[in-house]
Amino acid sequence: MGMKGRLALGAVVGVVVIGTVSANGGSNSEGKGPSVSAGRDAGAGRDADAGAGAADGKKKAAFEGDGDFRVGPDIEPGTYRTTGNTDDLCYWERAKDASGEMDSLLANDNVSGTAYVTVKATDKLFTSSGCNDWEAVAPRARGGSPATTMAGRGGMFRVGTDIAPGTYRSTGNTDDLCYWERARDAEHSLDSIIANDNVTGTAVVTVSASDAYFKTSGCQDWKKTA
């Protein structure tokens, strides 16, 4: 999708304060307040989701990390995950058509670590560039032993699967580079954001059991305190 394929929408939109929530577009951001992701190597808990068709218990790639994929003919609607990405080099995009124009974008992001994305049946195209392979994940989090710590630069954690709900604390953050976000889904729209912030110093956030995901970027590591 051209040069904008490396530019997440938040880099243009910037940070918009809505009430007490500084909604920066969540997944549609780059630089200040991005939504980048966390892999298992970034402190997430036991991986409780298996890929589509993983009858043998092993994760199966649903589609590759590079290419344009038509929703329906090429990939099914659903929630997908890519892990182990580095340096924001993974870019993904949900689009309502294949025109390649900015107006066609529904959501996008530059990713480090793990990204979760829900592709809707009404989407027309999903684009992925520089990402590791994507796998399908179960629609609901399964049981297991969710972690009580997470890497501050990890990114996107599934609540109840990757991390336990509770109150987390991150200290020693500088220059508002620490961004966190509580999300109700993985669609990456403004409506997905429950609450978010850019932080200097100490951040304290309560992740609710009803939250679907927690995103963290540019922060020091988080530890559950309650």
Contact (CB, 8 A) for 71 and 96 = no
Summarize pLDDT for 165-195 with one digit per residue, the tens. Answer: 999 999 999 998 899 999 999 999 999 999 9
Whole-model pTM above 0.95? Answer: no
Summarize pLDDT for 30-59 with one digit per residue, the tens. Answer: 333 333 333 333 333 334 454 444 444 444
How many of the other CB atoms lie within 10 Å of CB of 73? 7
Helix (H, G, I), strand (E, B) or coil at 187: coil
Residue 130 in tokens: 């520089």
Per the DSSP assignment, residues forming a β-bridge with 107 are 94
Q: What string of pLDDT tens digits covers the 226 residues of the chain?
A: 333 344 444 432 333 323 333 333 344 433 333 333 333 333 333 344 544 444 444 445 689 999 999 999 999 999 999 999 888 889 999 999 999 999 999 999 988 888 999 999 999 999 999 999 999 998 765 667 899 999 988 889 999 999 999 999 999 999 988 999 999 999 999 999 999 999 999 999 999 999 999 999 889 999 999 9
What are the residues whose beta carbons fall under 8 Å from the beta carbon of 51, sequence distance 6 or more?
58, 59, 60, 61, 62, 135, 136, 137
